[in-house]
Homo-oligomer: A and B are copies of this chain.
């Protein structure tokens, strides 16, 4: 048997961030990454852009190869290496080939998979998910060969929205169905109405509260299932790893599981929501990279912790940037806040620089005056503005503090009162 060191199960975002960080901290630690799929280190977030043609070659989405990790990082990255069992009592993992690998520290970064369980017919040849490079390649090939004119996309999360836009670039009429009256999991009827109208102008029909339980062959010429993902936890559960309330792996802020020397990170694990202070399951590449890094640091002997997330995301919806952070008003009520909300429609820069409309929503808790959520919709400056709100949420800023922020102004870039500050001023009035 080889010398025990760090074994990482999973070779995408969290797993490789973990391995890379551990290597930087400990040059001598044996590190092995076991990936069950054929490739590692690919940017799944780019798959819709491959389907729409913005990404020319799937190889462009692969950041690093196993050879790179071997020669540049001294990390043994194995593909097609599926772990079928974790024998924690003897500190070994068992591969599908029967091979056993010892570990001193183990990091579980098994990711997530599309949640197809509630939909029958998902194995039909005209039905696709969009998680792996192979999924994207098959979907694009199907479009080119079969030339579908109509498609149904099931699920209006970010992948569903991105897939709908990608299909439109091929001239396909898209019906976007969601089981709830909801898009982006936000429980925000105003957002849903905005996107319904915007999508319609681009040939995408949003149909809410239309759950799909079975796909039959005449359901549409093409179906994309984007109903969200569920964490790959079965391997961990078999080994005795505890799950949290969300069904993903429960971890400490050091990314430790309940088993000693066993860490978990990325899309298979929970994280802490800094606004609600509750554990949540929000699988995103950014968080996977961050939590992987922390797991790697701790596995290599450091003591580092991951504070959590505030639920920030951004998605391009037929050219429109839609960014969220924290809680919507409805979500805040469910979390027992007493939310107040404002929406401001403003220009994103001086009129004589052809300022474009941008919409800013802020949500605060009436009792404390603390900001608890925000949304920004627009063409430019959307990421920057949502990130300012996210930074404020992380610091538990009050609306009073937020409205005095010293934000940058010059006519080519902003308005003298930034829409963020206008929104905060209006929200402040509702708090008094």
Contacts and interface: CB of A to CB of B under 8 A. Distances in A.
Interface in A406-432: 406-414, 416-418
Given A388-B384, A391-B392, A405-B394, A413 B55 contact: no
Shortest beta-carbon contacts, A-B, top 7: A384-B384, A314-B408, A395-B395, A391-B391, A383-B413, A309-B406, A312-B406
Contacts of A351: 60
Contacts of A274: 406
A405 B46 CA distance: 22
Contacts of A49: 350, 352-353, 411-412
Contacts of A54: 352-353
A383 to B, nearest CB: 4
B407 A286 contact: yes
Interface stretch (A119-127, A188-196, A230-238, A315-323): A315-323
Which of A55, A382, A394 has the most B CB atoms < 10 Å from its CB? A394
Contact of A409 (B284, B391, B392): B284
A386 B388 CA distance: 9
A387 interface: yes
A98 to B, nearest CB: 36
Contact of A307 (B311, B325, B401, B407): B401
Nearest to A282: B406
A287 interface: yes
A43 interface: yes
A316 B390 contact: no
A290 interface: yes
Interface in A173-187: none
Interface string A362-393: 00000000000000000011111111101110
Contacts of A380: 380
A397 interface: yes
Interface residues of A, number: 65
A289 interface: yes
Given A285-B409, A387-B388, A395-B397, 17 more contacts: A46-B411, A49-B350, A49-B353, A49-B411, A54-B352, A55-B352, A60-B352, A311-B406, A313-B408, A314-B413, A382-B413, A383-B414, A384-B384, A388-B391, A390-B406, A391-B405, A394-B406
A413 B274 CA distance: 24
Nearest to A429: B24
A286 B388 contact: no
A378 to B, nearest CB: 11
Interface of A: 13, 43, 45-46, 49, 54-56, 60, 158, 274, 284-287, 289-290, 306-316, 321, 323, 325, 350-353, 380-388, 390-392, 394-395, 397, 401, 404-414, 416-418
A286 B409 contact: yes
Contacts of A409: 45, 284-286, 313-314
Contact of A314 (B55, B289, B410): B410
A110 to B, nearest CB: 19
Given A353-B54, A383-B384, A387-B384, A45 B410 contact: yes
Nearest to A323: B408
Contacts of A158: 410
B410 A387 contact: no
Contacts of A381: 383-384
A306 B287 CA distance: 35
Contacts of A353: 49, 54
